[in-house]
Amino acid sequence: MSVLEIIVFTVVKIVLILTVMLLMVSYLVYFERRVSAWVQNRLGPNRVGWEGVLQPFADVFKLLLKEDIVPVKANQFIHTLAPVIALFVAFATYAVIPIASPLKIFGYEIPLVVADVNIGVLYVLALTSVGVYAITLAGWSSGSKYSLFGGIRSSAQMISYEISMGFSVAGVLLFAESLRPIALVQSQGSWMWNAWIQPIGFITFVVSAFAETNRLPFDLPEAEPELVGGYHTEYSSMK
């Protein structure tokens, strides 16, 4: 395979994976809203498209059309840089995550992963640690005490639960004898999922993942009654 072909295939994979990731995140939020509405005996989003399936696109257009306001007391550069760091971490993490089996196109076998590195799991754990800086900078640079307290709470919680998340993954790495994400997937062939083999580690990972992303019931950093919206109180529009 020539250098030009490698570049073309890599660019195509990047565009494909980013598209899948953005759509997946949008519809995971939609799914969460539907489940929350069902639990609370509400209708949930059901106006835009059939049963609200186009609601994520409506939300994106709404945010794009909103005015981007930067508080007077905010550090404008860092206030803008913080969400860029968070977005970069999310995109860079997906670079090592395989989304499907390799494809064969015109005689070439193309793995559906941007970068198949031997230390993929360590790479992901390291990037999630970098994401803490985005949260801290977002809270500090907003010039608001609510954002600052929310940023401190969130960063402390994320750092704390990274330890348990790392330990829960350690058992999976020992079982697969590799740090490559593709090897982890291949080691769970058929129905021999690691969740069945290591249920305690699986539960620990799920709980840690909820805490890392500040979702219920670990949403103390975004406690609305006392911190309004946490570290992102002063952000608007697409930020």
Q: How many domains does the chain have?
A: 2
Residue 237 within a domain: no
Cα–Cα distance, 169 to 238 (Å, whole number): 33
pLDDT tens digits for 208-221?
888 887 777 777 76
- 48 and 140 housed in the same domain: no
Residue 139, φ and ψ in degrees, nearest 5: -70, -40
- 45 and 106 housed in the same domain: no
pLDDT tens digits for 91-111?
888 888 887 777 777 777 777
- 61 and 155 housed in the same domain: no
- 113 and 40 housed in the same domain: no
State which of 65, 84, 103 marks the end of a domain: 65
- 48 and 87 housed in the same domain: no
State which of 65, 96, 114 marks the end of a domain: 65
Q: Which two tokens stand for residue 160?
A: 């704390």
Q: Which two tokens stand for residue 68?
A: 């981007």
Range of the domain at 116: 70-232
Residue 108 bridge partners (DSSP): 105
pLDDT tens digits for 157-211?
888 888 888 888 888 888 888 888 888 888 887 777 888 888 888 898 888 888 8
Residue 194 within a domain: yes
- 129 and 94 housed in the same domain: yes
Query: What residues contact 88, with CB distance under 8 A and at least 6 apart?
Result: none
Average pLDDT over residues 51-55: 80
- 17 and 86 housed in the same domain: no
Residue 78 within a domain: yes
Residue 239 within a domain: no
